[in-house]
Amino acid sequence: MYISTRGNSPERTGKEVIALGMVPAGGLFVPKVIPEINWRELITLSYPDLARTLLKLYLPEFPDSTLDQAVSVYRPELFCSENPAPLVQVGKMGILELWHGPTSAFKDMALQVLPHLLKESIQSLVKVDKVLILVATSGDTGKAALEGFRNIPGIEIAVFYPENGVSAVQERQMTTTEGNNTYVIAVNGNFDECQSKVKEIFGSKEMKEDFQNGKYAFSSANSINWGRLLPQIVYYFWAYLQAVAKAQIKAGELMNVVVPTGNFGNILAAYYAKKMGLPIKELICASNQNNVLTEFFQTGVYNRQRPFYLTTSPSMDILISSNFERFLYEMSDRDEEKIKTWYEDLRSKGKFEVDQQTLTKAKDFVKAGWANEDAVKETIHTVYNEQSYVLDPHTAVAVKVYQDYVKLSGDSTYTIVASTANPFKFAGTVLQSIKPELIIENEWENLTQLSALTGWEIPKGLRGLDKKTVQKVEKTSPSEIPQLLRKMFL
């Protein structure tokens, strides 16, 4: 069963929380009990079998046939090989490549699964003809969600992205999606404004009633939806099993995990894996110049009233990390009153400060750091020159933060870095870092240049993007999103 971080919802089943997306009155669903499992029992499993086993722990009411169908997505046709998330040794680090799916980003690992879970869950919503999925994206979630839900009967999906706030490749991926149920909207604002307005719609009684009259229910494909977050837990177990199989660590030995973090969902999945019994020592949270999380772990103050930077790692250009609420709920010993107070302060004052006990516990679980733009480029350059390995800017943030952590701590524990995007999604930035004289104005030519330089293949999903037909893109401001949705769907 699932409960709300703010204590404002009855206990719900897995089907209900996936169908709803987030708590209708505000807040996020969390499992009432985090199940434990002995990782040694998982050693012989394939990735689909591992995923099925872990999903079943959290979704016992789902039929085996649905879970079988959900995990069948992890096949070579979609993820390039039998191993959808290979662990690659780069120097002393293990790089967990999470970008072999159809959209070349880690979001595919969950967003190929979520449609199967949501289809099964819709039946728990009463008197609804269609589900309207609302997605705010800082770059990668949008395309992965559009691809996952494309042409699925009974589902419409609207994706909102910050105009001029994503890479050229990310934007073209979204705007060339084919599907009779997909809608893409460019918002004149930043990601936080998109995300805040979408969450506001979920909590709006008026919007809900209007759309229910039109036989629609709202749901989400962002990581505020438990069905999106849950499949992400799987690949941390997979990383550990690979590290043991490759003799990088001995069975039972601890490993560290470094995650480039924007909305805090990916690192939260690693936290749940640790709570379930995976031998993780340190969780290391890596931020770019929008380092609101790093500051929190230093001071206990979460302050979104700060400059917003557009960086070369746009998927992390976020000041309101939605999944952080789930983490603070656990760190405060599940004190829903504290969560309500803090998030009301964030809404009304733009910041909140946690008590010392909560901060101490949070710092015990997570180490945090950040990397500026120069450091990101230098890291891409150095790793390529020394290891012949190509990092995208988000993964480079994580590698730099990990290097800084080792210098400060002297910690020699084996460490895996979650690599969240294929470098070709950010070819211009990567070329600029490795060999700037090769860069040209045309981003599509930069993909070819990067491939010629490195010998790496351009991913199938990115080839010929510039030749594809761009679908109609609506344009709006954050405040006009509700009005636009009414016009589009009612």
| Cα angle: 70, vertex 71, 73; to 5 degrees | 85
Instruction: Give the N- to C-terminal CA distance of the chain in Å, as an integer.
Output: 34
- Token pair for residue 168? 């050229």
Nearest to 19 by CA among 124, 113, 97, 150: 124
The catalytic residues are 107
Rounded CA separation 323/328 (Å): 9
Alpha-carbon span 450 to 453, nearest angstrom? 5
How big is the CA angle at 430 (ends 143 and 165), to the nearest 5 degrees?
45
Place of tokens 């003809």: 129
Q: Is 370 in a helix, a strand, or coil?
A: strand
- CB distance 85 to 238 below 8 Å: yes
Tokens of 249: 């660590």
Would you report the helix, strand and coil content of the chain in percent, each value rounded to 5? Answer: 50, 15, 35
Q: What count of other Cβ atoms lies within 10 Å of the Cβ of residue 273?
A: 26
The CA–CA distances, whole Å, from 211 to 52, 185, 204, 207, 326 equal: 34, 19, 11, 6, 28
DSSP string, 381-442: HHHHHHH--PPPHHHHHHHHHHHHHHHHH-----EEEEE-B-GGGGHHHHHHHH-GGG--S-
Rounded to whole angstroms, how far apart are CA atoms 201 and 211?
Answer: 11
- CA separation for the pair 97, 104 (Å, rounded): 10
Q: What is the dihedral of CA 269, 19, 110, 8, to 10 degrees?
A: -20
Q: Are 25 and 8 in contact (CB under 8 A)?
A: yes
Q: How far apart are CA 475 and CA 226, in angstroms?
A: 29
